[in-house]
Chains A and B, each alone.
Chain A
Amino acid sequence: MAKTPLQFRHNGRDVALFVDGGTNLLVVLREMLGDVTPKFGCGQGGCGACTVLIDGDAHLSCLTLAEAVEGRAVETLDGIKSGPTLHPLQRAFADGFAAQCGYCTPGMLMAAKALLDKIPQPSREQVVEAISGNICRCTGYEPIINAVLAAAASLRASA
């Protein structure tokens, strides 16, 4: 099968590889680049576990053709810490008990980051809207929403 060359930025690092036609971004990240932070939950756009940022916008990597990110910047949970320091969202999720099994957490965090990067002080409704494509079966959404708001507050405090 003919392969297509593909280059993009992955968490600030340039990567180049060859992909089969039809390969989705989730497979490229997990299987080819070894970044297993985006998760597979459905492969059909239903759960949000695979959420990543493409040029700052939240996207479902399972529904994104790999070729579509040519030349663009892809950010995953693996890239949001700075050194050993947790991102305020990570801190807030941990402190606020916003994860149980943790499987939805990478997608939740990325959806929340896309929001806070654009709207640093969101309303509760905006938080709900931002994570409305992400399913969590364990924790319940209240602690997650509260954690996002707490992260926003801590970002404001440190600004």
Chain B
Amino acid sequence: MLELRKDIFADERDDNLNEVGKGTQRQDMLGHVTGTSTYFNDHKLQGMLHLRVVRSTQPHARLRRIDTSEAERSEGVRRVIRGADVPRNLNTLLSLINFGKDDEPTLAVDKVRYRGEPIVAVVAESPRAAAEAAAKVRIDYETLPAVFDVEEALKPGAPVVNETYPKNAFTYHERYDHQKLRFGDVERGFAGADHVLEQRYQMSPIEHAPVETNGSIAAPDTNGRYVVYTSTQALFFSLDTCAKILDLPSNTFHFIGGTVGGGFGGKVDTLTEPLAILAAMLTGRPVRYVLGREEEMQFGPPRGAERIYIKDGVMRDGRIVARQIRGYFDSGAYTRLSSYAVVKCAAHLPGPYTIPNVHGDIYCVYTNRTPATAMRGFGITGMDFALECQMDKLAHLIGMDPMEFRILNAYRDGDMKAHRREAKNTALIECVQVAAEKAKWPIREEFRRMSSRKDGGGARAAVPSTPREPASARPAPAQQRTSYDRRLPISPSSEPPPPQSPAPAPAHGATRFSSVFGTRRR
């Protein structure tokens, strides 16, 4: 049973917690143990058709020709769907909150940008008929050079992955190719430090691998609407995304979800619903589109890879005096949510420590990999892995106990954070103390007596003077143009666009994402 340390911060809490610390039955548990919880795929509808997607076998290629004639004649096929059949083929997920440009097709039309990208959908009487017909779709690829490494992708001459962002980096506020954090002067900090440690960290992509794969069933309803059973973790978000892609009012759809067979962030991208609904619209029949396990692994979005460089200046007595971070998020071929993860990551720097000089640059980079998405704390988790590895190395370097080293540098109430907000309700010191105690890890008395609520503020509350950088750093290099790009109008001007005020936040909802607008709440 959970042990609650009510002695910590006792004065901040009315002790009226009735449920925390007690075992409580999940409301859906009885359904789970009797097998009666209804997942999307447990619905069987009369006359249901099955949708299968033909996917790119190439990480980067121009589509010279797509021949579906043989597939259309294949037994049991009711409909073959191409990009031109999708009312608004291009979308970006966060366009619902006015963030980012439409950069991703539902079905690829003239180019594919990652292996597994959907190109054609086949709708047939049985899963087998759909699979057999899908195998008859002929696609003629013109292979393009591909880039799989975030730093390679930013170099001059790298292949352009996604023409919406021709420099292979997401553009913030129409002009910035990364998120910046500047607080104090790291160069001066390094110059005065006893030791400087610079390290490179790489976190690989991570697949959520839910036991239930992504999928949905869409069916014409009796009132001209469409009912959609879906595995989505984000029911209304998916509904609105479908309304946009299918160019219909959102009340056309009745989404039914709720019981999700594991998600962890891998079921927020509206992967299957638009095509399932479109197929139901085009055939007048219920349509099921469910990913196989291989599709889930290849096409299902992972937590994106991150490459992180950390350079720290540390004093012999254990104080970190400067921290410089460069991070690259691998968004894969399209934006999805990585642009937002980068904002979150920049907001997390320099970790839960009070450091007087902080310098951060975080990039959202396009590569020819499967687009990345949310997963349990994305934007933070990878950076924390790097930061905490770095903390251990720093402690080792100066010969200090790693727990005590963290306690010493932990932020305390009243400290100024690198974002120029006062730290409040901090508790890292207490967490480390309890962790040490549980692990029977000896820490010295003076560190056991330290508190998040003592010795913060004062000089630690000051905003250090921060040198301004020369306006507009070097213009980002032009990437190599592929034969595909040459057919596109290329923006004639190499001038940076005029400064623009950030897009206003929509008046409704979406407060969780408010930070992406750079607007201040409160």
Contacts and interface: CB of A to CB of B under 8 A. Distances in A.
A101 interface: yes
A94 interface: yes
B212 A39 contact: yes
A36 interface: yes
A97 B211 CA distance: 18
B35 A101 contact: no
A101 B26 contact: no
Contacts of B259: 101-102
B211 A101 contact: yes
Contacts of B29: 94, 97, 99, 102
A43 B293 contact: yes
Contacts of B250: none
Nearest to A41: B211
Interface string B6-32: 000000000000000001011011111
Interface string B25-48: 110111111111101011010000
A136 B36 CA distance: 18
A116 interface: no
The A contact surface, by secondary structure, is loop
Interface string A17-52: 000000000000001001011011111101101000
Interface string A114-156: 0000000000000000000001111000000000000000000
Contacts of B25: 94-95
A91 B30 CA distance: 9
Interface string A90-104: 110111010111111
B293 A41 contact: yes
Interface residues of A, number: 37
Interface stretch (B133-141, B260-268, B498-506): B260-268
Contacts of B32: 93-94, 99, 101-102, 105
Interface in A62-102: 76-78, 81, 86, 90-91, 93-95, 97, 99-102
A106 B35 contact: yes
Nearest to A147: B33
A81 B34 contact: yes
A103 B211 contact: yes
Given A49-B211, A97-B26, A34 B44 contact: yes
Contacts of B171: none
A43 B210 CA distance: 14
Contacts of A46: 293
Contacts of B212: 39, 41, 49, 101, 103
B249 interface: no
A109 interface: yes
B212 to A, nearest CB: 5
A86 B292 CA distance: 33
Contact of A43 (B35, B263, B264, B292): B292
Q: Give the residue among B23, B36, B261, B293 with the most A Cβ atoms within 10 A.
A: B261
A90 B262 contact: no
B213 interface: yes
Given A39-B39, A99-B29, A101-B262, A90 B293 contact: no
A105 B211 CA distance: 11
B209 interface: yes
A103 to B, nearest CB: 3
A91 B355 CA distance: 52
B210 A94 contact: no
Given A102-B31, A103-B211, A105-B35, A39 B293 contact: no
Contact of A39 (B30, B209, B261): B261
B406 interface: no
B293 A101 contact: no
Contacts of B34: 77, 81, 86, 90
B111 interface: no
A2 to B, nearest CB: 15
Contacts of B262: 100-101, 103, 137-138
B33 A47 contact: no
B210 to A, nearest CB: 6
By Cβ-Cβ distance, the 6 closest A-B pairs, closest first, are A102-B32, A103-B261, A37-B35, A42-B293, A77-B35, A90-B33
